[in-house]
Structure 1
Amino acid sequence: MNRFKKIYNPGFLAFLLLGVLCSCSKTEVKPVSLKLAVGDRFYIGTALNSAQIDGADTSAIKIIKQHFNAVVAENVMKSEVVQPVEGEFDFDMADKFVRFGLDNKLFITGHTLIWHSQAPNWLFVDKQGNDVSRDVLIERMRSHIHTVVGRYKGIIKGWDVVNEAILDDGTWRKSKFYEIIGADFVKLAFEFAHEADPEAELYYNDYSMAKKGKREGVVAMVKSLQEQGVRIDGIGMQGHISMDDPTIEDFEKSIVAFSELGVQVMVTELDLTVLPMPNMNAGADIALNFEFKKELNPYANGLPDSINTKMTERYQDFFRLFYKHSNKISRVTLWGVSDAQSWRNYWPVNGRTDYPLLFDREYKAKPIVEKIINEDL
């Protein structure tokens, strides 16, 4: 006899159905974090500074654990920190950063292997202070990349291999890497990283990526790498944006153009300055430094409601764009947790008060966080 027929009772079935419905309604709660709200669209990440990696900034750590599922080191994995003296590696803070990511089951990005800035002084010169030969610099690159990537083989799943090699007009940045080695330094860096960990994803990362010249220059560079059989898995679009630049349309053009190369697109280093820029062509060149003037710091005592509203709307516009292209975007990473720690407070003018991130100086969520969680985009 059919077991269902044997226990069939209309009243009992109604009771069971009511229980199922009640159970569903109880578990149907709204997400309480960014990572739950974003879901499987893409990773939502943040950069960690030394205080967070060391465990001192407990308020930020609480936010990271609640809201983010990916992390990148803001500074502690850059070459000047990891190898301050040739052949002498210091992995203390880098190891702590990786341990934090592992302990909290976060996607870890290594940042960055080859960058002209924040590189140790010895890297490009000999004992007499003269530029080293092409072969010497290539060997120093190989040694650094093999040592760093090799240490975290199978642990760090993705690396920013080269950072900021192309200028806004699409031409090559005349860095020491370029001057001594030539354009091949990018190809070599990706090849060395792949040798060190054949399973790791390898990315190119740059700012002003919504500009037409930069877009075309990066596309040309990546196509050249692909034609040479070099592995490149993704392009990071640094999201250092302002209230009116770049346009959503230009940012979208770059997302599409980079995706058409067959690689992942990542929005990296996302922050939104509300302050006036002393030079609109500054991009995000960390080497730039402008004199402090009071008129460049208009919100020292707090952000007016009108500006706060416009900032929320600007962030909404970008997250709408990210959602629209979530089939192309694998990760969106904020460049910090709270406004208090942001580099925007000291770049390109030191001593200003900026409000660029999703959590304020008291570690409270801004209105945009609630908008994203409630999908009010």
Structure 2
Amino acid sequence: MKTLKQFLLTLAILIFAYNCKETNQHKSSKDVMLKDAFNENFFIGVAINENQILEMDSLETGLVSNQFNSITAENIMKSMFIHPSKDTFDFKMTDKYVGFGEKHNMFIHGHTLIWHSQLAPWFSMLKDSVSMVTEMENHIKTIVSKYKGRIHSWDVVNEALNEDGTLRQSVFLKTVGEDYLSLAFKWASEVDPNTDLYYNDYNMTNAEKRNGAIKLVKHIQEKGIKIDGIGMQGHWSLERPSLQEIEKSILDYAALGVKVAITELDINVLPSPWELVGAEVSQNFEGNEKMNPYPKSLHDSVQIKLANRYQDIFKLFLKHQDKISRVTFWGVNDSQSWLNDWPIKGRTNYPLLFDKQHKPKKAYDSIMSLKKRIN
């Protein structure tokens, strides 16, 4: 009897020890987050909206703070919100945004100082170069000065190029001319010389636009003005751009002596009307069932395609990690993505790493599988 009791006791101890080991292994694996896995490679960032800045949902707050070490403000820093009238700046939400980043020890990116879209209406009423230069300088210097030393990098100018690489006929170009670009970077660098200054745009893998961006950067550099990086918006699809186009773009931009940030990353899994590519927010099209093939859930076969696409892209990022400063996803989870409403309203898209319930998808696992688990 004594022998049986000893045997059972020993067996119970062994089972308990095994379960503890399994629990600890599971815990250590589960505790590895995106920011941990890629900590030695580049920042892993995410764009956050007003509710997330205000920490309205504890699950989202936890997801953002645990998985990411860099943030971008999705909308609140655009001029229509932060500078709604000529003599009025509204810093309430931006203060909270910066406070959120500081609270969670994150790299804080400012988006964006000069952009033709979501522009404060009063800007468009300025018809002469003197007035525009004066107000642009005041806009940039006031905002950058307000957050000097707290915002670590800025999109100084956003989406100034046409698809053929020429300059967009924005109100800034029409009133000031091409020099508005170099002036914007000059003013920002004068106020905070220690923050990184980026030019940010979509379709930056397309040859003509890439050449236009290279010309833009060189023009600023030739004037002796600080420009630190190119932001390549990653509004891509399951097939386009090719890995070769992405790689060539990273190499060509890095050859300018600037950093490359992958910004606004999401992978569109839905069909695009008339082969539309890019992120021109003013374009909208009529919808139909063919254009919204996954209204309730994404088919497993497409989940796998999305996972493979993300894995291939991140393999490329890791290959060129010495050139890449930051990879930022455009949204926390699928329900937040702007692609649910663009370019066709009411569609259901699945472009990010986390689903509507904040759960990691196959795409998340495919990226994490590239890195050794931290035990």
User: How high is the TM-score relative to the length of structure 1?
Assistant: 0.90
1:332 pairs with 2:327: yes
Range 103-112 or range 173-182, more displaced: 173-182
Cross-structure match for 1:299 = 294
Range 210-219 or range 272-281, more displaced: 272-281
Cross-structure match for 1:3 = none
1:309 to 298, 304, 323: 304
Cross-structure match for 1:196 = 191
Contact 2:49 2:74 in 1 (8 A): yes
Which ranges of 4 or more aligned residues in structure 1 deviate by more than 6 Å?
none
- Deviations along 1:245-289, one digit per CA (max 9) or x if unpaired, are 111100110000000000000000000010011132441101111
Cross-structure match for 1:92 = 92
How do residues 164-313 of structure 1 correspond to structure 2 at under 5 angstroms?
164-313=159-308
SS in 2 for 1:279: helix
Structure-1 separation of matches of 2:330 and 2:82:
20
- Deviations along 1:137-162, one digit per CA (max 9) or x if unpaired, are 11110011011111001111110000
Instruction: Report the CA distance between 1:71 and its aligned residue.
Output: 0.3
Contact 1:47 1:335 in 2 (8 A): yes
1:150 pairs with 2:115: no
Instruction: Report the CA distance between 1:54 and its aligned residue.
Output: 1.1
How do residues 56-71 of structure 1 correspond to structure 2 at under 5 angstroms?
56-71=56-71
Contact 1:37 1:372 in 2 (8 A): no
Q: How many residues align?
A: 348
Cross-structure match for 1:5 = none
Contact 1:79 1:118 in 2 (8 A): yes
Cross-structure match for 1:111 = 111
Structure-1 separation of matches of 2:293 and 2:215:
41
SS in 1 for 2:275: coil
Structure-1 separation of matches of 2:88 and 2:274:
39
Contact 1:240 1:269 in 2 (8 A): yes
Contact 1:267 1:329 in 2 (8 A): yes
Instruction: Report the CA distance between 1:29 and its aligned residue.
Output: 4.8
Instruction: Report the CA distance between 1:244 and its aligned residue.
Output: 1.1
Range 173-182 or range 269-278, more displaced: 173-182
Cross-structure match for 1:73 = 73
SS in 2 for 1:105: coil
Q: Percent identity?
A: 47
Range 362-371 or range 307-316, more displaced: 362-371
Partner amino acid for 1:155?
R
SS in 1 for 2:141: helix
- Deviations along 1:316-342, one digit per CA (max 9) or x if unpaired, are 110001001001001000001000010
User: How high is the TM-score relative to the length of structure 2?
Assistant: 0.90
SS in 2 for 1:358: coil
Structure-1 separation of matches of 2:365 and 2:292:
28
- Deviations along 1:288-335, one digit per CA (max 9) or x if unpaired, are 111122211110021111111101001111000100100100100000
Cross-structure match for 1:17 = none
Structure-1 separation of matches of 2:72 and 2:305:
28
Instruction: Report the CA distance between 1:66 and its aligned residue.
Output: 1.1
Structure-1 separation of matches of 2:147 and 2:282:
30
Contact 2:315 2:370 in 1 (8 A): no
Partner amino acid for 1:103?
K
Structure-2 separation of matches of 1:376 and 1:244:
24
1:348 to 328, 335, 343: 343
Partner amino acid for 2:82?
V
Contact 1:162 1:204 in 2 (8 A): yes
Cross-structure match for 2:6 = none
Partner amino acid for 1:351?
G
Contact 1:237 1:266 in 2 (8 A): yes
| Unpaired stretches in structure 1, ≥5 consecutive residues | 1-24, 126-130
Contact 2:236 2:278 in 1 (8 A): no
Structure-1 separation of matches of 2:163 and 2:58:
38
| Unpaired stretches in structure 2, ≥5 consecutive residues | 1-23
Cross-structure match for 1:82 = 82
Instruction: Report the CA distance between 1:176 and its aligned residue.
Output: 1.0
Q: RMSD of aligned C-alpha atoms? A: 1.7
Partner amino acid for 1:198?
P
